[in-house]
Amino acid sequence: MTDTTVERHAAAPAGTPLLEVRNLQGWYGESHVLHGMDFDVGEGEVVTLLGRNGAGKTSTLAAVMGILGKRTGSVAYNGTETIGMQPRHIARLGIALCPEERGIFSSLNVEENLMLPPRIQEGGLPVERIYELFPNLLERRRSQGTKLSGGEQQMLAIARILRTGARLLLLDEPTEGLAPVIVQQIGRTIAALKAEGFTIVLVEQNFRFAASVADRHYVVDQGRIVDMIPGEALEANTDKLHAYLGV
């Protein structure tokens, strides 16, 4: 890899980032969980938020989506400030969340779950393409959503936000609790989505998985970004990362 490539990934993305987060503070009730997050995500990038349990990774995604109890600071998407917006308005700008617990609706079948999020703009994947990416979902489209295996539920949770036309996908621990073979499949899916031009922020504890899919890694600790490691430099920074993650 050339130095230029490394530099491009290491620095904040050139031009205006698609997502620009500045001094983001967040609260769950009285509990202050984000203490000034600062990071950027460029268009078409896959960026991970790595950190220990409770570091503030999931809260960061919730704050970007507007579903954290209270938040201050700045979250700009494509130049539009979203900090005072309702979640439904943020979603309609082109941001979509795949939550940690997957959020599959038990009263809906697979197809209803898939078709639930409304199309918010052009550019979403057609249903046929989604079924190509996730053939299991086609076979089981009449099954109750929560009757799927954990891996299939995760695929459904990712699949349903691809239809909407959202360009920034927030994926919260998509590999959690899944068998290695399913984790590989999720990795291939994320690579395919990157190739399709989606921008992805990925929360992960499995840094080996993160290393295989991401361009850059932000390390989160105690509600702050404490480091940024380019994808190519991850190998060289393994010891440092172990110290951050406590593994």
Partner 1 sequence: MFELLGIPPQVMMGQLLLGLINGSFYAVLSLGLAVIFGLLNIINFSHGAQYMLGAFVAWMLLTYLGLGYWWALVLAPVIVGATGLALERVALSRLYHLDHLYGLLLTFGVALIIQGLFRNYYGISGQPYQIPGALAGGQNLGFMFLPNYRAWVVVASVVVCFGTWFMIEKTRLGAYLRAATENPVLVGAFGINVPRLIALTYMFGVGLAGFAGVLAAPIYSVNPNMGADLIIVVFAVVVIGGMGSIMGAILTGYGIGLVEGLTRVFYPEGSAVVIFVIMAIVLMIKPEGLFGRTA
Residues interacting with partner 1, by CB under 8 A? Answer: 65-67, 86-88, 90-92, 96-97, 99, 103, 105-108, 112, 115-118, 120, 164
**4 or 107: CB nearest partner 1:** 107
**Furthest-apart CA atoms within the chain: distance in Å:** 52
Determine contact, residues 71/34, Cβ cutoff 8 Å.
yes
Q: At what angle do helices 180-195 and 150-162 cross, to 10 degrees?
A: 10
**CB 106, min distance to partner 1, A:** 7
**CB 111, min distance to partner 1, A:** 10
**146 or 205: CB nearest partner 1:** 146
**CB 66, min distance to partner 1, A:** 7
**CB 164, min distance to partner 1, A:** 7
**46 or 90: CB nearest partner 1:** 90
Instruction: Please give the full DSSP string across 74-135, using - where no structure is assigned.
Output: EEEETTEE-TTS-HHHHHTTTEEEE-TT----TTSBHHHHHH-SPP-STTPPPHHHHHHH-H
Distance CA 54, CA 63 (A): 15
**136 or 144: CB nearest partner 1:** 144
Distance CA 137, CA 216 (A): 31
Q: Which residues contact 3 (CB under 8 A, 6 or more apart)?
A: none
**90 or 225: CB nearest partner 1:** 90
**CB 118, min distance to partner 1, A:** 6
